[in-house]
Amino acid sequence: MVAVAILAAGKGTRMKSSLPKVLHPVGGCSMVERVLNSVAGLTPSHQLIIVGFGQEKVQQALAHRQGLTFIEQAEQLGTGHAVQQVIPHLEGFDGDLLVLNGDVPLLRPETLAEMLRFHQENGNAATLLTAQFDDPSGYGRVFCDGDQVVTEIIEHRDCTPEQRQNPRINAGVYCFSWPALAQILPHLKADNDQQEYYLTDVVKDLSPVRAIDVADPQEIQGINNRKQLADAFAMLQHRIKDDWMMAGVTLIDPDSITIDTEVEIAPDVVIEPQTHLRGKTAIATGCRIGPGSLIEHSQIGANSTVAFSVISDSTVGENSRVGPYAHLRGNAVIGDKCRIGNFVEIKKATLGNGTNAAHLSYLGDATLGERVNVGAGTITANYDGYQKHHTHLGDRTKTGSNSVLVAPVTIGEDVTIAAGSVVTKDVQSDALVVARSPQKVIPGWRPKQQRPAAE
């Protein structure tokens, strides 16, 4: 049985932000949520979040997650003090406690699973996650014997020149036998210059304590400022894009592409340069996405193409074409074999299979049947200044260029709307609609300024 405590109480002064540090996003979700995701596979019996600065914002941001217990650390007096706050919440618990930092978002689930396995198989009282750096300057050093038993932890400033040659550093990730830690934790003292309670001080009173090195030192990078936030994002992107390319996805110019963690991409998808995939987006096989496109929280069906376009919270069917310069938003639903072309905006509208809107149109709050053809410049006038109204076009209906459909209005099947028409009333099926003023021609007319003086 394992419990997890995540330290998330700090303000993060160097972030220079009113947002708690752990809520800053990396690759589509906040740092603290990324840490929670990394332990989900361990099925912890307790998920304890130690909060302080901006605790209301942290709780609100994580309200959608089940099984979290928020514990206030009113004063931030060090890592040991933070873990002391969990004592009342683990009364009677006899498993292991994993202690993580909410601002270390790149830890892989596999790393934590391996750390827990190592801890339990060796019967450790405590296990430290460590890393070996080429340049460990500034980090506390961890000294071990040949059996990986920790003999000493020394802060960098207290190391001798010889001790500073040790490349193994403390990553700040711990696994404790809770019954052993619970005996020592209440007696922790703040005997240091900072007058803080350090969790590392319990190590000397526990036995055995072992260290396990992380395979990729990038995983333990903490974030304290915007530069480190950007560095972490770059590391995460490199990891994500490598994984997708190995899974059969073609990324043309990966450095110009960004992909969030929750995105799903099928094999044989081609992602063109300057394309960004956000949130819970899914791209089916055979698609070509980009260049220059943004897709967020949307689903793109098999063998569809999207070029120089923005798609948000929408669905595109199979074998459809979107763009260039199209904008789909607000739960737009595009059927199979559709064409959404240049400078077309679709908002909260459903288009049936085989329907085309090739250029310069706005379709909002509308339902279009199958094989509808939307002429250039067609718009649904859906807003009366107070409310949005719906437009319905039946199967195989065609609108002429520069048509205006004033909602609410229902157009039947197999209707042809003449170019330049303003349609304000419902139209039955199998009809031609001409709703425009008769053309009037005045021969010989000129503006007054251009008329001969005799006139």
- Please identify which residue in the block is written with the tokens 């609410």: 408
User: Rg of the Cα trace of the chain?
Assistant: 31
- E strand or H helix that includes residue 416: strand 415-417
Distance CA 237, CA 455 (A): 76
Q: Which of 24, 119, 276, 359 is catalytic?
A: 359
Task: Name residue 82's beta-bridge partners.
Answer: none
Q: What is the DSSP string of 248-296?
A: T-EESSGGG-EE-TT-EE-TT-EE-TT-EEESS-EE-TT-EE-SS-EEE
Distance CA 311, CA 327 (A): 6
Distance CA 50, CA 71 (A): 5
Distance CA 40, CA 38 (A): 6
Pairing of strands 96-101, 168-177: antiparallel
Instruction: Output the six-digit token pair for 141.
Output: 């050093």
Q: How far is CA 367 from CA 143, 361, 410, in A?
A: 69, 15, 10
Give backbone dihedrals phi and psi of 446, rounded to 5 degrees, phi first: -140, 155
Peptide bond into 167 cis (omega under 30): no
| Sequence-ordered list of residues with C-beta below 8 angstroms from that of 63, at least 6 positions apart, any chain | none
One-letter amino acid identity for 84? Q
297 carries an active-site annotation:
no
Supply the residues annotated as catalytic: 359
